[in-house]
């Protein structure tokens, strides 16, 4: 069982004796990176009030602070995951994961997402009731986690509506997305349930990741840094014919005198257009 380190004046006095007012753990901006940072911060026993977590390289370094770089560890991540699920339930764990998936790191007026996650977990450990903590929106860290979860869910819902699969010449259904947040696992889980008998791949271009699903099996996340971009543009003959039919239907039902580009961009934001066949021409 994973436990958190000592809290109170002991860690604080140790920090002050060393001439350091704050310890800042720099985590990789990923679920594994943040959870490893949470584990290392708790295990350090430096005093929770003296610790902050940063997701990614800080824009500005602070005086009187010691920066500790965190190396992502699957073992430490699993220990944190096991503790969160066993002590607070899957809903609490999924909320923390959705907050970590957010592409927003920090701003001058808002907490870093890694720090918000760390403090929310500490509150849950101290309270013993994860659901009660998630409802405590008066706590800045909990409200920040709530904001991040809401943004991630909104991004995922929009991609579920706008995502388009195209059939490649090898029969695989392929889709490209350009999300702000790390929502690929949410999309992969949804389409694995909806299309269990299909071989498909969803390519997250900004994060260079791909979710690969095998027919009648599960899905796996893979590094897509070396993806063959020429191969994924080789569509099947049926795909090209159906695309022509769909585009002809799209153009036929349009009323030129009622074109409203502003309303169109309101209904489907322009950043989704490149991945949507019927709008990529505009």
pLDDT in tens, 223-242: 998 998 888 989 999 999 99
pLDDT single digits (tens) 112-164: 999 999 999 999 999 999 999 999 999 999 999 999 999 999 999 999 988 98
Q: Which of 171, 173, 166, 170 is nearest to 192 (CA)?
A: 173
Show Cβ contacts of residue 102 under 8 Å, excluding neighbours closer than 6 positions.
113, 148, 149, 151, 152, 181, 182
166 vs 263 pLDDT, higher one:
166
Query: Predicted confidence band at 48 (pLDDT cuts at 50, 70, 90)?
Result: confident
Average pLDDT over residues 38-48: 91
278 vs 108 pLDDT, higher one:
278
CB 277 within 8 A of CB 164: yes
Residue 28 CB-density burial (10 A; 0-12 exposed, 13-18 middle, 19+ buried):
middle
Q: Are strands 166-167 and 173-177 parallel, antiparallel or unpaired?
A: antiparallel
pTM greater than 0.75 (yes/no): yes
276 vs 215 pLDDT, higher one:
215
């Amino acid at each position: 069982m994973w436990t958190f380190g000592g809290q109170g004046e002991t860690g604080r006095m140790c920090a002050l004796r060393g001439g350091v007012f704050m310890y800042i753990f720099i985590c990789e901006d990923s679920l594994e990176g943040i959870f490893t940072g949470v584990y290392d911060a708790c295990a350090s026993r430096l005093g929770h009030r003296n610790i902050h977590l940063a997701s990614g390289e800080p824009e500005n370094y602070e005086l009187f602070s010691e920066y500790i770089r965190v190396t992502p560890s699957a073992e430490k991540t699993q220990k944190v995951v096991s503790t969160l699920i066993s002590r607070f339930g899957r809903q609490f764990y999924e909320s923390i994961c959705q907050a970590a998936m957010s592409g927003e790191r920090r701003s001058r007026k808002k907490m870093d997402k890694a720090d918000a996650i760390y403090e929310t977990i500490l509150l849950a450990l101290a309270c013993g009731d994860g659901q009660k903590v998630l409802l405590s929106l008066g706590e800045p860290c909990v409200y920040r986690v709530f904001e991040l979860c809401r943004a991630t869910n909104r991004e995922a819902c929009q991609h579920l509506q706008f995502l388009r699969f195209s059939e490649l010449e090898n029969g695989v259904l392929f889709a490209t997305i350009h999300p702000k947040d790390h929502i690929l696992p949410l999309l992969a889980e949804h389409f694995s349930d909806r299309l269990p008998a299909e071989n498909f791949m969803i390519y997250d271009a900004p994060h260079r990741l791909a979710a690969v699903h095998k027919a009648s099996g599960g899905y796996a996340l893979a590094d897509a840094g070396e993806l063959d971009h020429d191969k994924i543009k080789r569509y099947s003959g049926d795909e090209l014919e159906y695309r022509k039919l769909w585009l002809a239907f799209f153009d036929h039902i349009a009323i030129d005198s009622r074109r409203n580009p502003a309303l169109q961009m309101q209904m489907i934001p322009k950043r989704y257009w490149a991945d949507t066949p019927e709008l990529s021409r505009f």
